[in-house]
Amino acid sequence: MADSVPLKRLVTRLLILVVAMFAFGFALVPIYDVMCKAFGINGKTAGQYEGSQVVDPSRQVRVQFLSTNAIDMVWDFYAKADEVVVNPGAVTEMLFVAYNPTDKPMTAQAVPSISPAEAAMYFHKTECFCFTQQVLQPGQRIEMPVRFIVDRDMPKDVKHLTLAYTLFDITARQPPVAAHTGG
């Protein structure tokens, strides 16, 4: 019976540890959002924008495009240009290329990010391949458009934005059923 007191203490401590780990895991998303905002990284973009704006020809903003693949994604994935210079309010289009070099159909999802983070609310996508999953057949290559507007109300000191996409292989979660038909 003398051993039961240390055993109860150990079980209690382990249960407290499990509860603390669960609470920490639950709090990770808000902590991540706060840290990203504090360090000015990983600006989340909004969904599809359906408004219109008047073009500001007196101002220019450089938009840089980055594309990366998640660890297990084997597609070739890149923007057709590294950057464009836009006037706020103007609708601009950039094409991204995706190529499936494998011998099997694959499904992918692109996740966008804008930096600096405080500018993300001023970057509006009117059309984006990131809104839907992309299915490519073996050896298929497609061009995927993103159309966007840099808002006229973006602070004047922001002269450069980076639109970054990470491409994830989600084939195991969403088996492909048909070839991509464009858009």
Distance CA(84)–CA(62), nearest Å, equals 6
Q: Domain for residue 49, yes or no?
A: no
Strands 160-169 and 106-115: antiparallel
Per-residue pLDDT tens over the stretch 117-164: 888 889 988 888 888 899 999 999 999 999 999 999 899 999 999 999
Residue bearing the bigger pLDDT, 65 or 43: 65
Whole-prediction pTM? 0.68
Report helix, strand or coil for 34. helix
- The alpha carbon of residue 70 and the mean position of all alpha carbons in its chain are separated, in whole angstroms, by 11
**Rounded CA gap, 140 and 163, in Å?**
25
Specify whether 146 is located in the same domain as 99.
yes
Q: Number of structural domains, the chain?
A: 2
For residue 140, being part of any structural domain is answered with yes
One domain, residues 27 and 69: no
Q: What is the CATH number of the domain that holds 91?
A: 2.60.370.10
Confidence band for 2, pLDDT divided at 50, 70 and 90: low
Rounded CA gap, 127 and 75, in Å? 22
**Which residues constitute the domain of residue 115?**
61-169
Instruction: Point out the least confidently predicted range of 18-22, 36-40, 172-176.
Output: 36-40
Res. 4 pLDDT band, cuts 50 70 90: confident
Instruction: Please give the backbone phi and psi of residue 64, each rounded to the nearest 5 degrees, phi first.
Output: -100, 145
